[in-house]
Amino acid sequence: MRYGMIYLVVKDFQRSLDFYEKVLDMKVSETNGERFAVFNNDGLNICLLNGYYDAKHPEQVKIKGESFPIYDDTVSIANSENSRKAFINMVVPDLQKEYDRIISLGISEKITPIRFLNVFAPYWYR
């Protein structure tokens, strides 16, 4: 088994693309129309999946086998309050410098201050 990518089901595809391009300071590596976009960060791939695409383009969707709405209904996933519970750990050489860069982008009002946590091992995070 090997790591593939983290998929994030998003409500607003274009806004999410803009946000992640700014946060990751990189352009999208590849896309599949407006269904998904991949950021390839030296193998740590993050994929934005447009939660509404399949429902808006049913003629493009071919399914074989049983459907599992809990995983397959991307509209419900995008609209779910639980859809924003992904954590992506990114390592940077200077956390304060990166924090200041993120703040200067003006892309969110919900950025917490840098905090310290020690559970099994100490680390700083935001």
Over residues 68-119, the pLDDT tens digits come to: 787 788 899 899 887 666 666 677 889 899 889 999 999 887 777 887 766 5
Q: Name the band, by pLDDT with cuts 50, 70 and 90, for residue 3.
A: low
Residues 6+ apart with CB under 8 A from 47: 5, 6, 7, 8, 36, 37, 38, 39
Percent of the chain surpassing pLDDT 90: 33
Residue type, 92: V
Distance in angstroms (rounded) separating the CA atoms of residues 67 and 112: 39
- Both tokens of 49, joined, read 């999946």
Closest among 28, 30, 31, 37 to 8, alpha carbons compared: 37
Closest among 14, 51, 45 to 30, alpha carbons compared: 45
In the chain, the domains with their CATH numbers are 1-90 (3.30.720.120), 92-126 (no CATH)
Average pLDDT, the chain: 83
Distance (Å) of CA 45 to CA 56, 65, 74: 26, 27, 20
Distance in angstroms (rounded) separating the CA atoms of residues 39 and 31: 9
pTM to 2 decimals? Answer: 0.75
pLDDT value at position 44?
82
pLDDT value at position 120?
60
Residue 1 reports pLDDT greater than 60: no
